[in-house]
Amino acid sequence: MKYRIERDSLGEVSVPERAMWGAQTQRSFTNFPIGTERMPTEIIEAIAMVKKAAAVVNVDLKVLDKERGIAIAKAAERIIAGEHRDQFPLSLWQTGSGTQTNMNVNEVLARMASEDLGESVHPNDHVNRSQSSNDVFPTAMHLATVLAVEERLIPAMEAMTEVLREKRDRYAGLVKIGRTHLQDATPVTLGQEIGGWVRMMERCQSMIMTSLEYLKDLAIGGTAVGTGLNAPEGFGEKVAVQIADMTGRDFRSAPDKFHSLTSKDELVALHGSLKALAADLMKIANDVRWLASGPRCGLGELVIPANEPGSSIMPGKVNPTQAEAVTMISVQVMGNDTIVGFAASQGNFQLNVFMPVTINAVLQSVRLLSDGISSFTERCLKGLEADEERISSTRDRSLMLVTALAPALGYDTAALVAKKAHQERITLKEAAVSMGVLTGEEFDRLVVPERMVGHI
């Protein structure tokens, strides 16, 4: 491989000849050969958005010449569009401020702008003008998270919720046995059961959108420690306006930059709502696989799509693979929540230096939830069917229908009816009649499953 010599404040560095980055990126690439994780693409794009906005504002505030500003903005647009992905090779496990990734973007943009303009564009003096990694990186974290949630996660959630609403309405009148403590309970409709899932998705979306609002406060303008040193007056506010215009979202300048640089509480709050979603998805997926267990020797009330053979040894087996994928995703998100919370607690003085690991966990959670929900919806929920014969059979055999007798017979007598039916393996009706506490006609009048599901 051929190399060229690049220089920074520490001296000379050999850089691969075909690389677009400079000395500081190369130093990081060499000094952090750790793991396989790389800085998320979403962060690279978000930093490029910040650089474009900053270039426009720096020209407007007359701290950067127009020609360089335009060249930097054009180069940033190409990165945002997905060009030169191979020019951002740095490990996630680097400086906790994300400085080396900020400089990676600065150096690549400087080279692109220099080639386009035909004169030197400096990564620090021009591309990073009026900025610090300490305000650029947290700004990019907020920007990337908001876009990922609004563009990927929310549409996936809405699609799943709509499918569940259709199933809820379709099975609104199908009475089945309820279960608490994994034991038989009084009847519900399948529509009511699925309706609970619908509400989970609706409430989680509401919590996510509420917490997302806090992430629209941007740190840019705080520079190194929150004071705004080396940034012209109004820089942060104007950059926030530019980013809002670029994205169509109401981003704004954070009112207290000291908070923005050292605290990650807004990401903690957002990820907490993602954990709530993961918890509800775990419940829904587990319900599906429990209710679909069998098909002959389990509950067997739901029939799941047969997407692939379920066993390498047992012919004809169908497994709830989509539900299993969702439960594993939920476990990963819950683990990521621990990472985000602990990392956020480590803000010392004017800066938190756990930012790369924090944003990697957040974006991974959003990515996994988005993809997992979409796959679960398309390959499981859409094809989910009720086995109405099985549902009727288990409902009619349930001992907990005896609950309808309690007002007429009293709790203790009703309990004796259930106990006798269970011990002698007879129906509740047979037990009540043989005990002489009810006639057959009286039993039929009192025990009507369809009247036990309420009026909700």
Tell me which DSSP letter residue 449 carries.
Answer: G
Q: Are 214 and 271 in contact, with CB atoms under 8 Å apart?
A: no
How deeply is 62 buried, as exposed, middle or buried, from its count of CB atoms within 10 A (0-12, 13-18, 19+)?
Answer: exposed
CA distance 285 to 327: 7
How deeply is 442 buried, as exposed, middle or buried, from its count of CB atoms within 10 A (0-12, 13-18, 19+)?
Answer: middle
How deeply is 36 buried, as exposed, middle or buried, from its count of CB atoms within 10 A (0-12, 13-18, 19+)?
Answer: exposed
Q: Is 3 left (phi over 0), alpha (psi -120 to 50) or beta?
A: beta
CA distance 430 to 428: 5
311 is catalytic: yes
Residue type at position 76 = A
Say which of 9, 181, 312, 455 is annotated catalytic.
181
CA distance 150 to 160: 15
What distance, in Å, lies between the first and last C-alpha atoms of the chain?
72
C-alpha of 71 from chain center: 36
DSSP per position, 381-421? ITT-EE-HHHHHHHHHH-GGGGGGGHHHH-HHHHHHHHHHH
Say which of 206, 311, 345, 434 is annotated catalytic.
311
Return the exposure string of 329-343: e unless at least 16 CB atoms fall within 10 Å of the residue's CB, then b: bbebbeebbebbbeb
Return the exposure string of 85-98: e unless at least 16 CB atoms fall within 10 Å of the residue's CB, then b: eebbebbbebbbbb
Q: Are 103 and 137 in contact, with CB atoms under 8 Å apart?
A: no
How deeply is 368 buried, as exposed, middle or buried, from its count of CB atoms within 10 A (0-12, 13-18, 19+)?
Answer: buried
User: Which are the catalytic amino acids?
Assistant: 181, 311
